[in-house]
Amino acid sequence: MKIANFAVKNYQFTLVIFLMTIALGMTTLLNMPRSEDPSLDSPQFPVIIIYPGTSPEDMEELVVDPLEKKIYALDDIKRIKTKISDGVAVLNVEYKYESNVNDKYQELVREVNAMRSELPQDIYSIEINKVDPSDVSILQIGLISENSSRENLQKFADRLRDELEKINALKKVEIHGLPQEIVRIDLQLEKMAQMNIPLNAVIGNIQSETANIPGGTIEAGNKAFNVKTSGNYAGIEEIANTMVYNAGGKNVALRDIAFVHKDYEENKHLTRLNGYRTVFVTAALKKGNNISQVQAQYLPVLEAFKSELPANIDMVVAFDQAEFVNKRLGGLGFDFMIAILLVSLTLLPLGTRAAAIVMISIPLSLGIGLVLINLLGFGLNQLSIVGLVVALGLLVDDSIVVVENIERWIREGHSRMEATLKGTKQIGLSVVGCTVTLIIAFMPLVFLPEGSGDFIRSLPVAVIMTVLASMLVSLTIIPFLSSRILKEHQAGSQGNLFLRALQKGISVSYAPLLERSLRRPVRTLVISMGVFILSLGLFPVIGFSLFPASEKPQFLVNIISPIQTKIGETDRVAQEVEALLRDVEEIEYFSTNVGKGNPRIYYNVIPENERTDFAQIFVQLKPSTSVSDKIRIIEDLRNSFEGFTGAKIEVKNFEQGPPITAPLEVRLSGTNLDSLRKIAGEVELMLRETPGTIYIDNPVSNLKTDVRVAIQKEKARSLGVNILEVDRTVRLAVAGLNIGRFSDADGDERQIIITTPKMERASLLNFNNLFINNQQGAAIPVQQIADLKLESSPLYIDHYNKTRTVSVTAFVQEGYLADRLISEVEAKVAGLQLPEGYSFKMAGEQESREESFGGFQTVIIVTVFLFIAVLILMFKTFKSTIIVLSVIPLGMVGALAALWLTGNSLSFVAIIGLIALAGIEVKNSILLVDFTNQLRAEGKPLDTAIREAGEIRFLPIVLTTLTAIGGLLPIAWSTNPLISPLAIVLIGGLISSTILSRIVTPVVYKLLPPRIEAENL
């Protein structure tokens, strides 16, 4: 090939490129971004509406329905999932995955803002967020103290936050577990009623004082000056002196009717570390940064900060993602070195010099591959490194084939230079064809849709870029090195001891077996087909699972108290759970969060919002804890918490892949909540009766009791009372109203909350003390125009694409496969007689699977035809193409058998392994078929050409297979359940394919001999 000739003849230029490649690769390796997992950059935007004091039904009618209608009409909307609770609604708006995140965010903000005038005016806030995958906290630091004051903890937490914010690579440095300081205005409503002071006048006057309107600029001569207006309040005393009303010619100050003071928000998030009072400080990593390098920046900051803490405050790094990343990457790096060692051992038959040349291709190919991976915007994470390890077993293939062919020419008596040029030319086209087919095999994985595609994409990209680099190296630098380093042999040389032993094994075992098979080609083919068909029976045996659980030594304990349980009672239960966790010696830290979920420390777990009946404990085991021990601990805890009184305790492992609510999810759709509740109850019973299900959740199984203020609207109108003022007064008395912000002398902002004294808000009886001013200014008792009623209502109302839904969920017990349970449950639910207008869908893992492989069929079809097109372009016959592709079923035999023998299911990653296996098999088959065609083109008879090609090409094919297996063995041995099935599939498939295809391919070739063009004869 011309490129090989150029590289050999211009060896000085080749040498410079060789050195440059090594330097670039090393620089890229040290500086490219590193993270634990790939990012999932999906166009999702939670729209959070806070409307205090509003029941779920009112929130649905007044806010959610009009917003959903408006948003769902936008282009490229994929789905809207809404959860409505007391005073809060969250609309999770998800666009089609290929949509531009920034454009769609701006569109959504614009449309929601346009709707504000059509929504209730007293909505507290509407917030639109982006789901940023990089918002996962890489640090969770605990400031522990049992006796430090709240102010002191706040001071040191603020100081730590400020220090971490100085590190440019960190973002979203937040404090958890400390209520914010506020300015509270406690109104004396009875006194206001006596003085006929309307509430809206008080609120309006305070809000006008908090406004800070720029005064613009004025010009004087050739200068311009900014004009500052009076600004907002300068202190608490100034707030108290606000004139809020003029009663009978007398000005009334706020202090005359209210107590203004600094206070703290009600503590709705209690935090502890290992049972001790704690404040958490978390930090996330900005995109594109190397987490290991960033760790080197923040560790000295943390050490210095800890040394300055008083004796009664301790600091503990409860979670540091960099430690896990370094350990995982270090483990994969160790696997990488083991793989290189195993690969080097498989190269011994080539001889020391030839093996050294092939080994040189490894750092070169990896160096070029890393540069290309980095240029494409990918970093180092667990999947891209797995891609590099997979590529390790493949990138030497081209070099082995080239060097082995050059060696064969040298053994036939040619000089090194002549053997290099002729040997590379003879095999060059096959090397290109093999590489192209291998790349085509991995291309479908690059174009996988949705979150699963994003999650896995760095793996095939790493393989493709590295294999491309290996092809370039094998056709340039390898010929150059071969022409300079390989040892010249005498004609007829048989090579070293290892080569002679391997060739003897081929002639003794393989040659006679091939001879017998060629004498009975039809029988051989039928037996092979029978073996393949029998192997398909393993599919239902091994089952399917989308993504496995994480192997990290961490898990969560969720505590769900009965509906409307006070936070104090939930905290009591959490302390009981903590007492049990202390007895588990493998636990290093457990971070308790009462009233809220733990800060987000895992890429696919979204923390629970504020709930007084919820607590979550993030458990971190000692780093030395094995995966089997972790599973045992989880199962032991599940058994311990079974039958726990006072709350439902769930011990959940972290899962890999895109986020799902639960593996088993039955989504029921309909209009009437009572009907949905009845159907959900039946589904819940079915799930409970299905062996293998745990943690069944039916969100509508229990109703909560609300106190409704039923306004007599006609009477209110007749008395001149504004209905809005009734709602506002009730909300003020119950929850308080946020009417502005106040900045102190240090520039710290605090919310101004207007409410009633805490003691007055403690009882329903104080409803009698609420007054509202009518349009004439007279004080009207609220009880005169409204009644209190107790009524039942759902805790949540869920919507899916504007339709009311109820999702009954369940998790899968250890030892069961989700796929089988999904099929069983679906069959049971399908037997229900649902009313007209009601339907169900299996969501959870099944829906995620459908989305992951949705559109995949098109990619596969294109890939298959590309395979065929490339092979036809190479061989120019359909028969040669069919012969080459006939090996694909043979690899599946070993792949399925390997999964079954190792106890693994057919997971998403295992399917990726099957696709990659097809490319490797075709690559090896090309070498055999192409060489057989060459021998026939030289005039050799069909049977002779088949035998010679089978024996001569057996050596490079066996060597490339052994190197691939050697590179994959460390991954197969690993304890990471996400990536080990991929290696197991490839190893099993390569073994069966190598054994069977070396017989079947020659047999198929004999049955379908391609026509060789006359000019080639």
Give 449-475 pLDDT, tens digit per residue: 777 777 778 888 998 999 899 888 888
pLDDT at 179 (0 to 100): 86
Region 767-795: mean pLDDT is 79
Q: Which amino acid is at 957?
A: I
Separation between Cα atoms, residue 795 and residue 40, nearest integer Å = 31
Nearest CA to 262 out of 752, 838, 734, 691 is that of: 752
pTM of the model: 0.81
Task: Pick the more confident residue, 362 or 371.
Answer: 371
Percentages (nearest 5) of helix, strand, coil residues in the chain: 55, 20, 25
pLDDT exceeds 50 at position 1017: no
On the CB side of 711, CA atoms within 13 Å amount to 19
Apex CA 532: angle with CA 528 and CA 538, to 5°? 150
Separation between Cα atoms, residue 961 and residue 953, nearest integer Å = 12
CB 303 within 8 A of CB 141: no
Residue corresponding to tokens 């969060």: 593
CB 754 within 8 A of CB 203: yes
pLDDT exceeds 70 at position 217: no
Query: Fold identical between 1-26+348-495 and 502-536+855-1017?
Result: yes
Separation between Cα atoms, residue 245 and residue 226, nearest integer Å = 33
pLDDT at 761 (0 to 100): 54
Region 738-766: mean pLDDT is 71
pLDDT at 1015 (0 to 100): 43
pLDDT exceeds 60 at position 493: no
pLDDT exceeds 50 at position 260: yes
Mean per-residue pLDDT of the chain? 84
Q: Which residues pair with 592 in a beta bridge?
A: 272, 617
Separation between Cα atoms, residue 742 and residue 748, nearest integer Å = 8
Neighbours of 397 (CB within 10 A): 30
Separation between Cα atoms, residue 388 and residue 102, nearest integer Å = 32
Ordered by start, the domain boundaries in the chain are: 1-26+348-495, 43-130, 502-536+855-1017, 550-655
Q: Given CA atoms 909, 913, 919, 923 in this order, what sign does their dihedral have?
A: positive
Per-residue pLDDT of 601-629, as tens digits, reads 988 888 888 888 999 999 999 988 888 89
Nearest CA to 890 out of 1013, 766, 993, 739 is that of: 993
**Six-digit token string for 336:** 């990488």
Could you give the percent of the chain with pLDDT greater than 90? 28
Neighbours of 858 (CB within 10 A): 12
Of these ranges, 240-249, 437-446, 661-670, the one predicted with the greatest mean pLDDT is 661-670
Q: What is 645-689 written as a DSSP string?
A: TTSEEEEEE-B-SS--S-SEEEEEEES-HHHHHHHHHHHHHHHHT
User: Under CATH, to which class is 43-130 assigned?
Assistant: alpha beta
Separation between Cα atoms, residue 173 and residue 168, nearest integer Å = 11
Lowest mean pLDDT among 758-767, 772-781, 956-965: 758-767
**Six-digit token string for 39:** 């990012």
Neighbours of 671 (CB within 10 A): 11
pLDDT exceeds 80 at position 504: no
Separation between Cα atoms, residue 804 and residue 446, nearest integer Å = 36
- Residue 48 exposed, middle or buried by CB count within 10 Å (0-12, 13-18, 19+): middle
User: To the nearest 10°, the Cα dihedral for 868, 869, 875, 878?
Assistant: 50
Coil, strand, or helix at residue 244? strand
Lowest mean pLDDT among 368-372, 592-596, 885-889, 1012-1016: 1012-1016
- Residue 151 exposed, middle or buried by CB count within 10 Å (0-12, 13-18, 19+): exposed
User: Under CATH, to which class is 550-655 assigned?
Assistant: alpha beta
Q: Name the CATH topology of 502-536+855-1017.
A: Multidrug efflux transporter AcrB transmembrane fold (1.20.1640)
Separation between Cα atoms, residue 546 and residue 897, nearest integer Å = 19
Per-residue pLDDT of 270-316, as tens digits, reads 999 999 999 999 999 988 888 889 999 999 999 999 999 999 999 99
The CATH number of 1-26+348-495 is 1.20.1640.10
Please, which pLDDT band fits residue 447 given cuts at 50, 70 and 90? confident
Phi and psi torsions of 839, nearest 5°: -150, 170
Per-residue pLDDT of 975-1005, as tens digits, reads 778 778 888 999 999 999 888 888 888 899 8
pLDDT exceeds 70 at position 747: no
Q: Which residues pair with 157 in a beta bridge?
A: none
Neighbours of 13 (CB within 10 A): 12
